Chains A and B, each alone.
Chain A
Amino acid sequence: QQQVKQSPQSLIVQKGGISIINCAYENTAFDYFPWYQQFPGKGPALLIAIRPDVSEKKEGRFTISFNKSAKQFSLHIMDSQPGDSATYFCAASTAAGNKLTFGGGTRVLVKP
């Protein structure tokens, strides 16, 4: 019940295209859903996060869509750029200060 399932495992998109990564969870106590971006050999960097009281949050080219009833959330990367090539992790937490439960990650490759 603590799992966060992420798909796809990998994604290839052309420059300018849209990358879409999906996550699903079971634990209804989760109330914070961040996305992290990780480059090889680096630590995860917080990209964007959402709380369940909103259905969508947009920051620049990155948008989170949240469907509370379906217990699903997704990351959309608009106008994908080669510099966006990285591994993206969704995560969830139940309360401030509590641990993050990560999804399995999606390796995104943006072809020029």
Chain B
Amino acid sequence: EPEVTQTPSHQVTQMGQEVILRCVPISNHLYFYWYRQILGQKVEFLVSFYNNEISEKSEIFDDQFSVERPDGSNFTLKIRSTKLEDSAMYFCASSEPLIYGDYEQYFGPGTRLTVT
């Protein structure tokens, strides 16, 4: 069964450093997303990406964040200068919405980002 994969599973970085989180969405999917989950809290939307551009972003997704689809398979989230409050689990998701139906989003296993 196709699945979303993410690397690394755990990333430890120092405050102020840049990190890149990587995702490989399901191959025939068209929409890509990043969500985050601070420990013990709900899953929060960060950004959605379609047709090589951001389609929606939340207020969390400020200028420190960027996304990119550098090739036909990878989807990345970059945090330019990490802060302590960026420590969270970051989930990539993808979906293949048709004209009607199929809203389903499939999540990867997540990358745990720890900023020290």
Contact = CB atoms under 8 A, between A and B. Distances in A.
Interface stretch (A12-20, A63-71, A78-86, A102-110): A102-110
Contacts of A105: 41-42
B43 A96 contact: no
B91 A44 contact: yes
Interface residues of B, number: 30
- Interface of A, secondary structure class, is loop
A: interface residue count bin = 20 to 34
Contacts of B68: none
Contacts of B25: none
A97 B48 contact: yes
A62 interface: no
Interface in B51-93: 55-56, 58, 91
A91 B91 CA distance: 15
Given A44-B91, A98-B48, 14 more contacts: A41-B110, A44-B43, A46-B105, A49-B104, A89-B43, A93-B103, A97-B30, A97-B31, A97-B95, A98-B103, A99-B48, A100-B105, A103-B42, A105-B42
Contacts of B50: 97
A60 interface: no
A34 B103 CA distance: 9
A72 B48 CA distance: 26
A86 to B, nearest CB: 14
Contact of B97 (A34, A89, A91, A96): A96
A101 interface: yes
A49 B91 CA distance: 20
Interface string A23-60: 00000000010101000011111100100000000000
Contacts of B43: 36, 44, 89, 91, 100, 102
Contact of B107 (A43, A49, A97): A43
A95 B101 CA distance: 9
Contacts of B95: 96-97
19 contacts: A36-B107, A43-B4, A43-B108, A43-B110, A44-B107, A46-B106, A89-B43, A95-B103, A96-B95, A96-B97, A96-B101, A97-B50, A98-B56, A99-B33, A100-B35, A100-B43, A100-B45, A100-B105, A102-B42
